[in-house]
């Protein structure tokens, strides 16, 4: 297990570093002079000597790798510079947006897990029954509806026609108001991703049920309940969990759309607004934050999988077997 | 006489989709207390299906149409499901061919035992553990407490099979059903398994239903034999009678091929072996498992040296994991050795001069290609002339005795024996000087084995093709090879004629030789058993 | 999967065929141009003259739906081709070469996979002019990673298969092995991924266009027909929002059914659905 953690951790760090370099390259590839980007149009009105001085102060005359090291240093200290649009510290802006996004993600993830686990198991155990067909059809439909359109349709029904749920914002006073604002965004986010989770669970369950060892358990006279809880579900949980880890990116991406439709003051909306306003320091910070969250999230999930399943612990060692 | 443990009356089974066609028809037999009954038949004869039908565990889509199965007087098919669970758990033990598939890969061996005990007994956890370890000990497993806490994949196939037997016997059943329990195992482990089962019978007086395709296993184990063919029982008799006076023509043909294989005579050493074709000098191969901070080296082949001469049939035998396959991959230039040299003295380039037939023919064919494309592939790379390619294919096909009508088919549409011929034809297309056959009989029925053996000898005689025959089956090697090399733990421990190997004094060789099963049931070796036990003590 | 048998797949195929015919023959089926502004007929509900009503600029929704379908289907198909091309070549090379190269290439894929594709597209589009071609390229460039990963895993295991080595023994060289034996085996995966890619691309295109960063407004697409639609539904113009959404959903659904059917035929348990926004 120790070796698994070390190997997996080094992979995680490599991924983070690579992502970091990608982001930096992206920043440098942007059209225009970084000094202009940082100080705005007024930079161009300065004298040549002043421009020279500022460029040197920013370290822009240095070779690219030392610029990268400097940038990495400041990023590690949480210093992403200032927003082009508001001039505020990027870290402040981000910190303000993180809370609502975490809230939205938690609510959506909870919904996804509860619904997909129950329906996925039901569907997988009763394969080819009417209920399986209904669940399958439902998951396909939700997989196919564009998230934004689904959100608008819900708004049309619940905010415009019925008028029972607010259509935008995060709410101000009281738990109830707050929940009311949360319901629609979280539901849309959850439902638009839930189909994949249900399908994964169903298909792996169907696959595992047909394995010989399940048959062997029945031949040893074990009850169906024991086989389900002690053998089937643990075996299915590993691919399911690793999908949860992998698809975290997708849910985060989905929150960009949801947040802008429901005017949810989170990270997704911030990113979109910044992108439209060409506010690169903010985009960069948001990207790096997303990257780190996703990478660490999947690291943690892998640890859980390895803890549950001896084969996962081994796989990381066995895949390194090479000839010669 | 006492009532039988199990009686099967007029059992017929059919597929739901095709009700006219019976998969099993009018199966009648009984198993008496303390008897070992074997069911023998070639693949597709319905013997495995029978074992499932006995316990009302038929696969989906297959149904019982008539008949009944009584276990100690109770009808298995009319039982309540809780009764049946109790019956399956405590009265009947089951051992499968697949050593891996019968374990949950996420649970330790110990958890498999505790689960079984907690489902069917009132033993406490400590008692259950003690009992399990005791059972593992009875199966002669080394370090039973370590095995108890291991995961299935950490054990070897032979170990897993013994654990499976321990699980099946743990609640002292009255009947053990074993479906090809030794087919996937090395011969000496196979002999051990058989011995363990027999010993259990002698100790507890339980009955065994043993399903096999190997007449050697029948001769070694059976009291009574049931011969199956195409879903019918064609003959059922006492074991001595079956071997001395078979009644049904199918039984006779099985016996004929069996004796053909065993008593086809030993080959003598060829004279004038002075034209080496391939030499291997002090060759080693190591696989490294790279861990994060250290490297673990596994020496698959250690300092091997051998020479294969023109026209020679050379045997390479050893248990699985002894390094035979790695050595063959080195000879085929599929891997480069880390030390030593391999020299080729043939007239054609290596890639053309050395050809290969793999133990699993279907795995060695591109699944999207037809038989004709597969056989002709070599011609695509060596001569471009389509006319010539066509005649080459025709020649190879007729040489191995394949029918032209098979050419447009896909390999999966052919029987095992035919597939192996296709593989052989592909190899012969390039007129190789050396044929490397890696366990060529492993996937074949007895009758196909004996035909294949004849074909290979014919090719060797008429074309002068040298053959390297790699096998764990010492019987076949003795019947076929001029010289035999024995491999153990990566080393070539000795090389000699069949005679030399049979009378060798090396421990490993003796182990291989001692695992040859008898040909005649009267000769069941009690002295083999004694020797095996001494041998075991020596190794642990 | 057998549910409702082949019917649902047949219907899906029929629907897609019909859609292709309708969009291809759009000029003969419409009375107004898709960009024809008519400020006298703003936000008119469905009627005989405007089959599905008009939008906020008085443009005919039926006409825009057909012409927009051309754009959405083209983008969906072309973006899939781009991502398939990159994904298959990247994955095949990575798996076939193996070793350190493979490890590095896969780390790159992991990294790219950790970034939500919509954010990356938003970031990248500053480098490109706003056009349909850009959108195809961007969607293709951000969706090839799962394909590369799957193909690489398959190539890696196929490379060690006995039948591939058996071909090496009869004299096949590495490029023969890759092109004659290894890649053809991955065809089922490629087919399934291609279908998943089409639905992903259609959904992504519509999302981007909806957000105003996809297909520019001077060209109709199902996505940009929905841009700013929240405002009109508040004033009761439900038809503006309803029809494009239904078109997208039905199209993606039809493609998904066909894809699921294929996946089932080829039985690839390792396929874990595609990406969606």
- CA B464 to centroid of chain Cα atoms: 30
Instruction: Flag whether residue A12 sits within 8 Å of chain C, measured between CB atoms.
Output: no
Q: Is B276 helix (H, G, I), strand (E, B) or coil?
A: strand
ipTM of the shown complex: 0.86
Stretch 179-208 of chain A: residues touching chain C, C-beta under 8 Å: 192-193, 195-196, 199-200, 203-204, 207
Which of B116, B291, B335 is opposite residue A323, by nearest beta carbon? B335
- pLDDT value of position B76: 86
CA A107 – CA A97 distance, rounded (Å): 16
Residue B502 φ/ψ region, left for φ over 0, alpha for ψ in the -120 to 50 degree band, beta for the rest: alpha
CA A264 – CA A270 distance, rounded (Å): 9
| DSSP characters over B377-419 | HHHHHH---HHHHHHHHHHHHHHTT--GGGTTS-GGGS-HHHH
* Domain residue extents for chain C: 2-29+51-265
All partners of chain A with 3 or more CB pairs under 8 angstroms: B, C
User: Can you read off the two tokens belonging to residue B413?
Assistant: 């549409």
Residues pairing with B29 in the sheet: B8
Which residues fall within 8 angstroms of residue C275, CB to CB, at 6 or more apart? A250, C117, C143, C146, C200
pLDDT tens across B225-277, in order?
999 988 889 999 998 888 888 888 888 888 887 777 666 555 666 666 678 88
Q: Which of B381, B251, B278, B261 is CA-nearest to residue B333?
A: B278
Burial of B381 by CB count in 10 Å (0-12 exposed, 13-18 middle, 19+ buried)? middle
CA A315 – CA A267 distance, rounded (Å): 36
- pLDDT value of position C133: 92
Identify the closest residue of chain C to B331 by CA–CA distance: C169
Q: Which chain B residues are Cβ-neighbours of C185 within 8 angstroms?
A: 366-368
State the DSSP H helix or E strand holding residue B476, giving kind and residue range, or none if neither.
Answer: helix B474-480
CA B76 – CA B78 distance, rounded (Å): 6
Q: Hey, are the CB atoms on B363 and C161 less than 8 Å from each other?
A: yes
Contact of B149 with B108, CB cutoff 8 Å: yes
- pLDDT value of position A40: 62
CA C203 – CA B180 distance, rounded (Å): 53
Residues of A with CB under 8 A from a CB of B: 3, 6-7, 10, 211-213, 215-223, 226, 230-231, 234-235, 308-311, 314, 317-318, 320-324
* Domain residue extents for chain A: 2-16+91-279+294-323
The pTM assigned to this predicted structure is 0.82
Q: Which of A165, A156, A163 is CA-nearest to residue A184?
A: A165
- How many CB atoms are closer than 10 A to CB A172? 8
User: Can you read off the two tokens belonging to residue B181?
Assistant: 């329990």
Segment B510-525 mean pLDDT: 64
Cα angle C211, C212, C214 (rounded to 5 degrees) comes to: 100
- How many CB atoms are closer than 10 A to CB B122? 8
pLDDT band at B527 (very low <50, low <70, confident <90, very high): very low
Q: Would the CA dihedral through B99, B101, B104, B105 be positive or negative?
A: positive
Burial of A174 by CB count in 10 Å (0-12 exposed, 13-18 middle, 19+ buried)? exposed
Cα angle A183, A188, A193 (rounded to 5 degrees) comes to: 135
CA B399 – CA B421 distance, rounded (Å): 10
Cα angle B330, B336, B341 (rounded to 5 degrees) comes to: 75
User: Can you read off the two tokens belonging to residue B275?
Assistant: 């034209």
User: Can you read off the two tokens belonging to residue B24?
Assistant: 């099993």
Domain covering A2-16+91-279+294-323, topology: MetI-like fold (1.10.3720)
Q: Which chain B residues are Cβ-neighbours of A221 within 8 angstroms?
A: 84-90, 119-120
User: Can you read off the two tokens belonging to residue B539?
Assistant: 């190794």
Q: Hey, are the CB atoms on B57 and A231 less than 8 Å from each other?
A: no
Burial of A155 by CB count in 10 Å (0-12 exposed, 13-18 middle, 19+ buried)? buried
Stretch 227-266 of chain A: residues touching chain C, C-beta under 8 Å: 239, 243, 246, 249-250, 252-254, 256-257, 260-261
Instruction: Flag whether residue B296 sits within 8 Å of chain A, measured between CB atoms.
Output: no
CA B49 – CA B47 distance, rounded (Å): 5
- pLDDT value of position C270: 40
Q: Which chain B residues are Cβ-neighbours of C171 within 8 angstroms?
A: 351-352, 378, 381-382, 430
Q: Which of A274, A269, A265 is CA-nearest to residue A148?
A: A269
All partners of chain B with 3 or more CB pairs under 8 angstroms: A, C
Which stretch of A131-135, A233-237, A315-319, B62-66 has the lowest confidence by average pLDDT? A315-319
CA A301 – CA A241 distance, rounded (Å): 7
Segment C66-83 mean pLDDT: 94
Identify the closest residue of chain A to B294 by CA–CA distance: A3
Interface test with A, best of B59, B107, B171, B292 (most A CBs within 10 A): B292
The domain at C2-29+51-265 falls in which architecture? Orthogonal Bundle (1.10)
CB crowding B280-292: b at 16 or more within 10 Å, else e: beebbbbbeeeee
CA end-to-end distance (rounded Å), chain B: 44
- Looking at residue B268, the DSSP 8-state letter turns out to be P
- pLDDT value of position A322: 33
Long-range contacts of B19-28 (CB under 8 A, 24+ apart): B19/B65, B22/B65, B22/B231, B23/B49, B23/B62, B23/B231, B24/B49, B24/B50, B24/B53, B24/B231, B24/B232, B25/B231, B25/B232, B26/B67, B26/B232, B26/B233, B27/B53, B27/B67, B27/B232, B27/B233, B28/B233
Mean pLDDT over all residues of chain B?
Answer: 84
Contact of A114 with A191, CB cutoff 8 Å: no
Q: Hey, are the CB atoms on B365 and C172 less than 8 Å from each other?
A: no
Residues of C with CB under 8 A from a CB of B: 161-163, 165-173, 176, 180-181, 184-185
Contact of C181 with C167, CB cutoff 8 Å: yes
Which of C163, C171, C181 is opposite residue B351, by nearest beta carbon? C171
All partners of chain C with 3 or more CB pairs under 8 angstroms: A, B
Which of B115, B153, B291 is opposite residue A3, by nearest beta carbon? B291
**Strands B175-179 and B207-212: what pairing?**
parallel
Which residues fall within 8 angstroms of residue B376, CB to CB, at 6 or more apart? B389, B392, B393, B429
Q: Would the CA dihedral through C216, C217, C221, C223 be positive or negative?
A: positive
pLDDT tens across C223-244, in order?
888 887 777 776 777 888 889 9
CA C249 – CA B99 distance, rounded (Å): 48
Q: Is the pLDDT of residue B403 over 80?
A: yes
Segment C12-24 mean pLDDT: 93
- pLDDT value of position B265: 57
- Give Cα separations from B122 to A132, B116, B117, B126 (angstroms): 39, 11, 7, 12
Q: Is the pLDDT of residue A245 over 60?
A: yes
Q: What is the 3-state secondary structure (H, E, C) of chain C?
A: CCCCCCHHHHHHHHHHHHHHHHHHCHHHHCCCCCCCCCCCCCCCCCCCCCCCCECCCCCEHHHHHHHHHHHHHHHHHHHHHHHHHHHHHHHHHHHHHCHHHHHHHHHHHHHHHCCCHHHHHHHHHHHCCCCHHHHHHHHHHCCCHHHHHHHHHHHHHHHCCHHHHHHHHCCCCHHHHHHHHHHHHCHHHHHHHHHHHHHHHHHHHHHHHHCCCCCCCCCCCCCHHHCCHHHHHHCCCHHHHHHHHHHHHHHHHHHHHHHHHHHHHHCCCCCCCCCCC
CA B428 – CA B354 distance, rounded (Å): 10
CA B527 – CA B510 distance, rounded (Å): 13
Torsion, Cα of A146, A152, A156, A160 (10° steps): 170
Segment B322-340 mean pLDDT: 88
Say how many residues make up chain C: 277
CA C36 – CA C218 distance, rounded (Å): 11
**Residue bearing the bigger pLDDT, C119 or B272:** C119
Task: Write down the residue that tokens 């061996």 correspond to.
Answer: B109
Q: Which chain A residues are Cβ-neighbours of C2 within 8 angstroms?
A: 128
Q: Hey, are the CB atoms on B358 and C166 less than 8 Å from each other?
A: yes
Which stretch of A110-124, B410-424, B522-536, C204-218 has the lowest confidence by average pLDDT? B522-536
Interface test with A, best of B57, B82, B106, B178 (most A CBs within 10 A): B106
| DSSP characters over A272-291 | HHHHHTT-HHHHHHHHHHHH
Segment C45-74 mean pLDDT: 86
Stretch 14-53 of chain A: residues touching chain C, C-beta under 8 Å: 14-15, 18-19, 22, 26, 29-31
pLDDT tens across A10-39, in order?
888 988 888 888 888 877 776 666 666 666
CA B338 – CA B346 distance, rounded (Å): 23
- How many CB atoms are closer than 10 A to CB A246? 19
pLDDT tens across B189-221, in order?
888 888 899 989 988 989 999 998 888 888 888
- pLDDT value of position C268: 43
Which stretch of B12-21, B452-461, C132-141, C158-167 has the lowest confidence by average pLDDT? B12-21
Sheet with strand B483-488: strands edge to edge: B354-357, B434-438, B466-471, B313-317, B483-488, B491-496
Contact of B8 with B29, CB cutoff 8 Å: yes
- A130-144 and A175-209 helices cross at what angle (nearest 10)? 120
Burial of B487 by CB count in 10 Å (0-12 exposed, 13-18 middle, 19+ buried)? buried
Segment A246-260 mean pLDDT: 87
């Amino acid at each position: 297990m120790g070796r698994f953690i070390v190997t997996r951790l080094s992979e995680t760090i490599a991924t983070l570093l690579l992502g970091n370099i990608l982001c930096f390259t992206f920043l440098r590839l942007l059209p225009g002079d970084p000094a202009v980007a940082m100080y705005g149009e007024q930079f161009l009105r300065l004298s040549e000597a002043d421009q020279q001085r500022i460029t040197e102060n920013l370290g822009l005359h240095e070779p690219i790798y030392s610029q990268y090291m400097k940038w990495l240093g400041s990023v590690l200290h949480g210093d992403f510079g200032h927003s082009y649009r508001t001039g505020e510290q990027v870290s402040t802006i981000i910190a303000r947006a993180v809370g609502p996004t975490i809230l939205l993600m938690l609510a959506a993830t909870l919904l996804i897990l509860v619904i997909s686990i129950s329906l996925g198991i039901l569907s997988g155990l009763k394969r080819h029954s009417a209920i399986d067909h209904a669940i399958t059809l439902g998951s396909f439909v939700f997989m196919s509806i564009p998230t934004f359109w689904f959100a608008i349709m819900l708004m049309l029904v619940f905010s415009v026609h019925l008028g029972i749920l607010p259509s935008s914002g995060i709410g101000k006073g009281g738990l109830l108001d707050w929940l009311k604002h949360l319901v629609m965004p979280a539901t849309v986010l959850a439902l638009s991703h839930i189909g994949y989770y249900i399908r994964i669970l169903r298909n792996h369950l169907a696959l595992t049920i047909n394995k010989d060892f399940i048959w062997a358990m029945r031949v040893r006279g074990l009850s169906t309940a024991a086989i389900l809880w002690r053998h089937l579900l643990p075996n299915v949980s590993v691919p399911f969990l690793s999908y949860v880890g992998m698809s975290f990116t997708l849910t985060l991406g989905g929150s960009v759309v949801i947040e802008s439709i429901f005017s949810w003051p989170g990270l997704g909306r911030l990113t979109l607004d910044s992108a439209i306003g060409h506010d690169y320091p903010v985009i960069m910070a948001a990207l790096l934050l997303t990257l780190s969250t996703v990478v660490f999230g999947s690291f943690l999930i892998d640890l859980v999988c390895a803890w549950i399943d001896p084969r996962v612990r081994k796989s990381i060692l066995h895949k390194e077997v090479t000839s010669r | 006489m006492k009532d039988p443990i199990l009686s099967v009356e007029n059992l017929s089974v059919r597929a739901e989709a095709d009700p006219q066609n019976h998969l099993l028809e009018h199966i009648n037999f009984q198993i008496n207390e303390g008897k070992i009954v074997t069911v023998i038949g070639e693949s597709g004869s319905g013997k495995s299906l029978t074992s499932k039908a006995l316990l009302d565990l038929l696969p989906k889509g297959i149904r019982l149409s008539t008949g009944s199965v009584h276990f100690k007087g109770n009808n298995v098919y009319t039982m309540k499901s809780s009764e049946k669970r109790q019956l399956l758990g405590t009265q009947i033990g089951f051992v499968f061919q697949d050593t891996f598939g019968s374990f949950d890969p996420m649970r330790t061996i110990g958890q498999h035992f505790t689960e079984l005990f907690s489902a069917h007994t009132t033993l406490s956890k400590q008692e259950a553990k003690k009992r399990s370890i005791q059972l593992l000990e009875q199966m002669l497993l080394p370090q039973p407490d370590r095995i108890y806490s291991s995961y299935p994949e950490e054990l070897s196939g032979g170990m897993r099979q013994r654990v499976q037997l321990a699980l099946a016997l743990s609640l002292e059943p009255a009947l053990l059903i074993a479906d090809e329990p030794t087919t996937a195992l090395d011969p000496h482990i196979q002999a051990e398994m058989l011995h363990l089962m027999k010993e259990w019978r002698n100790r507890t007086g339980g009955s065994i239903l043993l399903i096999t395709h190997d007449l050697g296993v029948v001769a070694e184990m059976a009291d009574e034999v049931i011969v199956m063919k195409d879903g019918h029982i064609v003959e059922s008799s006492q074991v001595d009678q079956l071997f001395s006076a078979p009644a049904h023509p199918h039984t006779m043909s099985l016996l004929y091929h069996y004796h053909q294989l065993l008593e086809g005579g030993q080959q003598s050493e060829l004279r004038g072996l002075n034209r080496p074709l391939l030499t291997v000098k002090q060759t080693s191969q190591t696989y490294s498992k790279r861990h994060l901070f250290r490297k673990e080296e596994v020496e698959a082949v250690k300092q091997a040296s051998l020479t294969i001469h023109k026209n020679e049939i050379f045997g390479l035998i050893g248990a699985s994991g002894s390094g035979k396959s790695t050595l063959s991959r080195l000879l085929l230039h599929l891997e480069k050795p880390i030390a030593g040299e391999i020299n080729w003295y043939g007239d054609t380039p290596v890639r053309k001069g050395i050809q290969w037939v793999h133990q699993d023919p279907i795995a060695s064919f591109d699944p999207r290609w037809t038989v004709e494309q597969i056989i002709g592939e070599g011609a695509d790379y060596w001569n471009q002339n389509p006319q010539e390619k066509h005649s080459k294919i025709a020649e190879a096909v007729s040489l191995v005795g394949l029918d032209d009508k098979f050419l447009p088919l896909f390999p999966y549409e052919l029987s095992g024996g035919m597939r192996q011929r296709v593989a052989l034809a592909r190899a012969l297309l390039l007129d190789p000087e050396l044929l490397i056959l890696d366990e060529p009989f492993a996937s074949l029925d007895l009758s196909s084995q004996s035909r294949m053996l004849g074909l290979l000898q014919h090719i060797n005689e008429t074309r002068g093709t040298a053959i390297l025959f790699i096998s764990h089956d010492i019987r076949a090697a003795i019947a076929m090879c001029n010289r035999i090399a024995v491999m153990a733990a990566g080393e070539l421990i000795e090389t000699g004629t069949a005679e030399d190997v049979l009378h060798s004094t090396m421990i490993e060789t003796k182990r291989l030789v001692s695992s040859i099963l008898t040909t005649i049931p009267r000769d069941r070796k009690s002295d083999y058993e004694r020797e095996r036990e001494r041998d075991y003590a020596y190794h642990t | 999967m057998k549910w409702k048998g082949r019917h649902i797949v047949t219907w899906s195929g029929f629907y897609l065929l019909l859609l292709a015919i309708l969009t291809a023959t759009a000029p003969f089926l419409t009375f107004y141009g898709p960009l024809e502004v008519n400020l006298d007929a703003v936000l008119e509900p469905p009627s005989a003259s405007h089959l599905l009503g008009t939008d906020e600029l008085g443009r005919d929704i039926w006409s825009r739906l057909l012409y927009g379908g051309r754009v959405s289907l083209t983008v969906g198909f072309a973006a899939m081709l781009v991502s398939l091309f990159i994904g298959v070549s990247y994955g095949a090379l990575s798996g076939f070469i193996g070793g350190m190269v493979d490890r590095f290439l896969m780390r790159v894929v992991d990294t790219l996979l950790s970034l939500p594709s919509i954010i990356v597209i938003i970031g990248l589009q500053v480098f490109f002019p706003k056009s349909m071609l850009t959108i195809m390229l961007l969607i293709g460039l951000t969706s090839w990673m799962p394909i590369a990963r799957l193909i690489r895993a398959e190539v890696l295991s196929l490379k060690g298969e006995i039948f591939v080595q058996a071909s090496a023994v009869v004299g096949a060289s590495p490029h023969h092995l890759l092109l004659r034996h290894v890649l053809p085996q991955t065809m089922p995966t490629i087919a399934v991924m291609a279908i998943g890619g089409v639905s992903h691309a259609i959904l992504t295109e519509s999302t981007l266009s909806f957000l105003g960063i996809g297909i520019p407004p001077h060209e109709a697409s199902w996505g940009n027909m929905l841009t700013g639609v929240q405002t009109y539904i508040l004033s009761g113009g439900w038809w503006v929002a309803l029809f494009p959404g239904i078109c997208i959903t039905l199209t993606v659904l039809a493609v998904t059914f066909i894809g699921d059917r294929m996946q089932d035929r080829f039985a690839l348990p390792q396929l874990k659905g595609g990406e969606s926004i």
